[in-house]
Structure 1
C-alpha cells in the first residue's frame, strides 16, 4: 500500500492501521498489562484509549514530535485543523508520555497533556560508526537525506555558493533523492557549481559511509527535525555538524557550538555559510572535540538508556 502521494502521507494507511489495532485489542486486550505505542499515526493510540476500559491496560506513548498548528495547516491545507484536533485529542488521553526533546515535551504540555512527559535522550542503536582522524582532501561538505522542501536544500546550495566564493577549493556531496532533486540539480547548474557540488543520488551504503566519515562537516539545513539523529551519527564519526536554528528544529538541542559543530543563527545563506566555514577552520582540533563530545554523551544518547527508563517506569506501574 503506497504511504505517500505527491510527497505527502496518505490518510487512509494510518486509519487502516488504527482499525487493525482496534480489533486486535478488542480480541486480545486483556492479555496486556501495558500498551506502549507511538503517538503517530494517532488512530492506533485512539483505538487503545477507547478499549482501555475493556482491556484494563495502561498506556505509554512515544511522542517523537508534536506538530505546530502552523505546520499542520502547511502540510494539509484546510484539513490541517482536523489533524491539529486529533493530535490534541491524543495528548489528552491518560498516558505515560515520553518525548525525545525539550521542544516537543513543552509542546505536549501546551496542547493538553495532563502530566509532564518523561524526557528520553537516546535513540542511537549503535556507536560502531566509521571514524577517521582527519577529513578527506579537498575539504568536502556532506548532506545525506531526502530532497524535500523542509530539508531546505536550496538554502544549502546558496550557502555553499557563498562559502565556495571565499574558499574555492571547497567541495560538497549531497546524497539522496526526492521530489526536489531536479530543481536542486538545475539550480546547481544555473549557479555554475556543477564541478564543485556532486549529486550521486541513492548509492550503496558503503559509499555514503565513506563520504560521511571523511566529511569536513555534515550539514543539515532542515527546518524541522523531531530529534536530530543525524547529529548523533555525525558526532559518533568525529565529524562536526551544522544545523539551523528554527522553531520546529529540535536537532539544535544536540549541538554544542565549538564542541561537536555549530548552529546557524538564521536561515539566510550568509548565516549558514559562516558555520560551514568555521568547521573547515576548526580542522583536526574540532574533529577531536567532536569525538570527545560523543564519548561523554554516548551512554545517554543510546537506545539502551531510553529502554532502561521505559522498563523501569513499567515495572513501577505494575507494583503500584
Structure 2
C-alpha cells in the first residue's frame, strides 16, 4: 500500500527565512515523513534556481518570489493575495492527489484558498493558527479599513475551519471567541529535539539581552530605560540588543535618552554560534513583546539556563511557559519600573535560578515537543495513522 500523501502550505520555508512559523512547518514536514506520510511543502520561491532537494519532503513552489513585508514590518496584502491564489490554483489542480492538507492560517486568506479548492473532495484539511487577534489588534496593526477587513475575514475563516490546531491556551480561547465550533487540537509544545548547548554561569560583567526583530509589537525601545533604572541597584549591568527592523531608530533614540552609549551594544543580527554564546552568557533575556503566539524564546533561553523576563499582556501567550521564580519572571507592564524590578530579581537570583531554568527545559523536553504535536495531528486526520518508521521517541 502506498504512503498517504499530505501537503503543508506556508509562504516561507526554513532556512531561507528564519521565523518561528517556518521552523514549525518544516518540523511538521520532517516528523510526518518519519510517521510514514509522503509530504509536499507548498511555498513561495525563496531560493535561486531549482527548488531545493530535501530528504524528508518535496518542495513545491506555488508562486514566485514575494516581498512579504512593507517598511513598517506589516505583511503586504499583495503578497498574501498572490500566495493564496497560487495555493488555490495548485490545490484545485491536485484536489484528489492529497489525503490531507495542513495550511498555515497566517495570512488568513490561505484558509479560504484551501477550503474552496478542496470543496467536494475527500481531502481532509487542518488550519494551524499560530495567533488569533481580536478586532482592536487588527485595527492597530493594519489601520481602520484593512484592520476591520482582516478581522472579518479571520472570523469567517475560523467558522469554516474543519480541524483547527493552535499552540497556547490563549489562542484556543480566542478561536472559540471568534466562532470556532469544529474540532480543536491544542499542542503540548513546540520543542523540536534536545538542544546541544551546555549551560554555563552568566558572564561577568553581567548583561541582559534582547534577540529578535525590531518591530512595534516587540516594544524593544522600552528596554534601555528599564536597564538604566536597574543599574541604580546593579551599577555594572550592561545591555545587548540583537536584531534590526523598522523600530531600530527608535531603539537607538531610547539608548541615547537613557545615556546608554557606554553600556549598550547593538550588533544587529549575528551568526547562530554567536547568538548561542550571547544568550548563554546573559544574566537574563528580556522580551517585552505585547503579543506572542507561543513563545519559543522561553524554551531556547531555558535550554541555556538563562531566565526570561516577559510582560503580562492579553496577547502574550509566551507567559504560559514561564513559572515565576523557576525559569524567569513576568513583569506587570512594559513600564521601566516594572521591567527593572524583574531584571534586578533575575540578576540577583544568580546561579540557582539558572539551574532551575535548565531543569524546566529538561522537563519540557519530555512533555512539550513538536513530535507529540505532530502525532496528535496525524491521529486527528486518520484514526489508523501510519506508525513511526523508527523506534518510539
- Does TM, normalized by the shorter one, top 0.5? yes
Counterpart of 1:72? Answer: 138
Match of 2:353 among 282, 286, 289: 286
1: distance between equivalents of 2:254 and 2:363?
40
> 1:1-320, aligned counterparts within 5 Å?
1-7=66-72, 8-77=74-143, 78-316=145-383
Determine if contact 2:241/2:265 at 8 Å carries over to the other structure: yes
1: distance between equivalents of 2:110 and 2:75?
16
Higher helix share: 1
Q: How far off is 1:317 after superposition?
A: 7.7
Determine if contact 2:208/2:284 at 8 Å carries over to the other structure: yes
Determine if contact 1:126/1:302 at 8 Å carries over to the other structure: yes
Q: How far off is 1:318 after superposition?
A: 7.4
**1:221-251: per-residue Cα shift (whole Å, max 9, x none)?**
1111111010010111111101000011111
Q: How far off is 1:164 after superposition?
A: 1.0
Matched positions, count: 319
Secondary structure, counterpart of 1:275 in structure 2: helix
Determine if contact 1:238/1:291 at 8 Å carries over to the other structure: yes
**1:94-139: per-residue Cα shift (whole Å, max 9, x none)?**
4111110000100100111113521103222232242323111111
Could you tell me which runs of 5 or more consecutive residues in structure 1 were left unpaired when the two chains were aligned: none
Determine if contact 1:133/1:284 at 8 Å carries over to the other structure: no
2: distance between equivalents of 1:194 and 1:53?
59
Secondary structure, counterpart of 1:189 in structure 2: helix
2: distance between equivalents of 1:89 and 1:278?
45
Secondary structure, counterpart of 1:284 in structure 2: helix
Determine if contact 2:218/2:291 at 8 Å carries over to the other structure: yes
Q: How far off is 1:153 after superposition?
A: 1.4
Secondary structure, counterpart of 2:82 in structure 1: helix
2: distance between equivalents of 1:250 and 1:240?
17
Q: How far off is 1:65 after superposition?
A: 0.4
Q: What TM-score comes out, normalization by structure 2 length?
A: 0.78
2: distance between equivalents of 1:94 and 1:271?
40
Q: How far off is 1:83 after superposition?
A: 0.2
Secondary structure, counterpart of 1:4 in structure 2: coil
2: distance between equivalents of 1:90 and 1:212?
38
CA RMSD of aligned residues (A): 1.6
Could you tell me which runs of 5 or more consecutive residues in structure 2 were left unpaired when the two chains were aligned: 1-65, 387-393
